[in-house]
Amino acid sequence: MLVRRYARRMAGRPPSVSARIKEPARTLELSCFLRYCLLTATDQIIFMFQRRVADLWRHCADGVASVDWARQYQELLLELSELAGHDAVPDTELRSRLREIVAAKCAQRPPSRASVIRQRLIDAIAPVRSLLAGVSRLPWQATGEHPALDALNKLRAGYAAGIKRLPSEVTAPRLGAAWRAAIADADRERAFRALEVATLLALRRAVRNGSVWIAHSLSFRGRERLFLPEERWQVEAPRHYARLQLPAKASEFLVPLLARMLIGIDAVAAAARSGDLRVDDELHLASLPADEDDPQVTRLRSQLDQRIGEAQLPEVILAVDAQVRFSWIMLGREPRTGQELLMTYAGILAHGTSLTAAECARMIPQLSATSIRQAMRWAGDERRLARACQAVLEFMQGHPIAATWGRTDLASSDMMSLETSRRVWQARQDPRRQVASIGVYSHVQDRWGIFHAQPIVLNERQAGAAIEGVIRQERIETSQLAVDTHGFTDFAMALSRLLGFDLCPRLRELKQRHLFVPRGTKVPREIAAVCQASVDTTLIEAHWDSLVHLAASVMLGHASAVTALARFGSAARGDPIYDAGVQLGKLLRTVFLADYFVNAAFRRELRRVLNRGESVNALKRAIYVGRVTPAQARRTDEMQAVADALSLLANIAMAWNTAQMQAVVDRWANRRQIVPPELMGRIAPTRLEGINLRGVFSFPVERYAAQLPPSQSAGKTRASG
């Protein structure tokens, strides 16, 4: 944190200011800045390396079927045509050779899809050779001898000597049996290319699971550095167990979990017997009926809209700021002038809409583009935007009508993509909108409002981001987090439970999701087709302390959940800690699915909170009008400022709607017109029909002179035009 703080301060200062810093502070800040640049540059090159390898695999896998029957058919036709061209072959011999060809083709095993992709990769490796040569010069480290580094050293020696043929004595250096034949090929140039591909894929896998790392990196450290130091863990372990409310022995945790699992399995079997569930080779769950429009809710929503009326976005921002004073949080003190107040709002708008400073200056004529750029620099520093967003959320949920919307301990998380340039190295193709985009992953409470947001890369697992958003929010206790398929893995379900909350995934292809029980468990006959007795509880017990050690490290912030889930992803198969977490996650998933299958009210609750996350994303989409520039996407903290500012603007709109709705409801209550809570709970605060988000903005500061800071009311500074 100290390194990042100094780096941001140095990056935001002109050279003349940096030159005036006195020693030893100047040397300290410069050293921290250079160290931070080294760490982030290392992360960036590894991220780009992983993306290039993934793109190469995707390109070679595109259009490859499981079995290339067309190629098989063409080879057969070629052999038959060659045989038919020999006029001198007697009929008896011709028939014999035809039988041999047919028998050989029948006995021949068609190549698998993976083998076809490997052959394509060997043919397509040449354009990536320069990247592999550069990566081979990085100071990679591993615990003991690692086959990927051994192969990388052989390639580096070949690159240095300018040799692109593999010596005959070099064999496959433990990179997998699939590559053994290709590396032993008689064509030694092709064997060299095969070694390059095998090394490329093995290195990517090793970096993902943390068995290979670079010391000067933030995100790709060694796996041991994810955990609290062993000496510290031995001393502090009892305190961490108590903080996480976990027993010292795994058996004490597993006994009640297994009891719940058996009850759930019996309930699913009973539902199958009664016909509520249909089980053949798969499980078929009837869809929930869509919520019908209630005329009373429609009428209430119309009445509220009429009484709330219309407003301009500057009025909405000022009205909420007058109650929350988030501008104080942004500045770290009271605004002194109306111009300073406008700069605060402009910095939020510029980040939250991704409009350039020049575009924002045309929207707010009182400010110049230079002043808006200055506001953007300090607005994105020190997590001011996140704290302001939290303050607005607390104001919104302090209204009595918020209690009618749902639970305080239930939330959902989902991603929204923001368009950017293809030149941005983190950008990925949005599969829906077909444009280069960066993701913003947001957490939304059941009572509405965004309480956490973070930038992520599209088309990657979001389970780490889902967990990170819950544990880094200290003021909101979440016991259940609803996610979609991308926000779920078995290991993530285990880690979240150890951290004190449950992941509740809405799984794609639900009918194909099986239930898992411990080995030796008797499975009811009705659900035997979708239930597997394969969970090894002894593995969980053997590595219980390591799992709790990892959970404590994530909870303390020693490692982020995103980094932990990246290291313990699918690339970590075979690692005992990963396998133990997966076994525990399968048990937890079985308990969740059993409840999900038989409890319709639970399904409706999860659908409701997930739909609220989608509604909030639609609100943010209406606010967000720009495009993330390469300058904003260059560093993670710049993208974090975009995510937090957009969340702040969305929370401001929801808070204003909530305050207006509460005022109307209070006036009705004074006239003894009571609105039933079940109706009020179905009115969302995400309406934008009455808020104008576009045009030239005029901030009527004088209208809120009594509520704005004392310097504003005393000076009576007019900031509108």
Q: What is the pLDDT of residues 199-240, one digit of tens each?
A: 999 999 888 888 898 988 888 887 788 899 999 999 999 999
Q: Calculate mean pLDDT across residues 452-460.
A: 88
What is the rounded distance in angstroms from the CA atom of residue 642 to the CA atom of residue 640?
5
The confidence score (pLDDT) of residue 107 equals 65
pLDDT digits (tens, 9 = 90+) for 566-600: 889 888 888 899 999 999 999 999 999 999 999 99
| Residue 645, token pair as written in the block | 């500012």
pLDDT 10s digits, 507-560? 887 766 889 999 989 999 889 889 999 999 999 999 999 999 999 999 998 989
Distances (CA, A) of 484 to 271, 598, 677: 25, 19, 29
Q: Say whether pLDDT at 14 is over 60.
A: no
User: What single letter denotes the amino acid at residue 166?
Assistant: L
Q: What percent of the chain has pLDDT over 90?
A: 37
Helix (H, G, I), strand (E, B) or coil at 412: strand
Indicate if the pLDDT at residue 718 is higher than 70.
no
Statement: residue 386 has pLDDT above 80 = yes
Token pair of 147 as six digits:
């086959």
Residue 173 pLDDT grade (very low, low, confident, very high; cuts 50, 70, 90): low
- Residues 157 and 263: their CA atoms lie apart, in Å, by 61
Q: Is the pLDDT of residue 363 over 70?
A: yes
Q: What is the pLDDT of residue 172?
A: 59
Amino acid identity of residue 563, one-letter, is T
Is-contact 457 54, C-beta < 8 A? no
| Mean pLDDT value of segment 633-640 | 80
Rg (CA), the chain: 30
Mean pLDDT taken over the chain = 86
pTM exceeding 0.75: yes
Contacts 24+ apart (CB under 8 A), 528-534: 529/279, 529/280, 529/281, 529/282, 530/279, 530/282, 530/283, 531/265
What are the tens digits of pLDDT across the range 103-148? 776 766 667 778 888 888 888 888 888 888 888 888 998 888 888 8
The answer to whether the CB of 43 falls within 8 A of the CB of 220 is yes
Q: Which pLDDT band, with edges at 50, 70 and 90, does 451 fall under?
A: very high
Average pLDDT over residues 266-279: 90
DSSP state of 628: B
Alpha carbon distance 443, 613 (integer Å):
8
Residues 6+ apart with CB under 8 A from 531: 265, 514, 515, 516, 517, 523, 524
Instruction: Give the residues across from 531 on adjacent strands.
Output: 515
User: CA-to-CA distance for 20 and 37, rounded, in angstroms?
Assistant: 22
Q: What is the pLDDT of residues 477-516, one digit of tens each?
A: 999 999 998 888 999 999 999 999 999 998 887 766 889 9
The pLDDT of residue 713 is above 70: no
Per-residue pLDDT at 162 exceeds 50: yes
Look at strands 212-214 and 140-142 and give their pairing.
antiparallel
- Percentages helix, strand, coil for the chain, rounded to the nearest 5? 60, 10, 30
For the cut 50, the answer to whether the pLDDT of residue 15 exceeds it is no
C-beta of residue 176 within 8 angstroms of C-beta of residue 201: no
The Cα 534–Cα 520 span in angstroms is 8
Residue 524, number of CB atoms within 10 A of its CB: 14
pLDDT digits (tens, 9 = 90+) for 320-359: 999 999 998 998 888 888 888 889 999 999 999 888 888 8
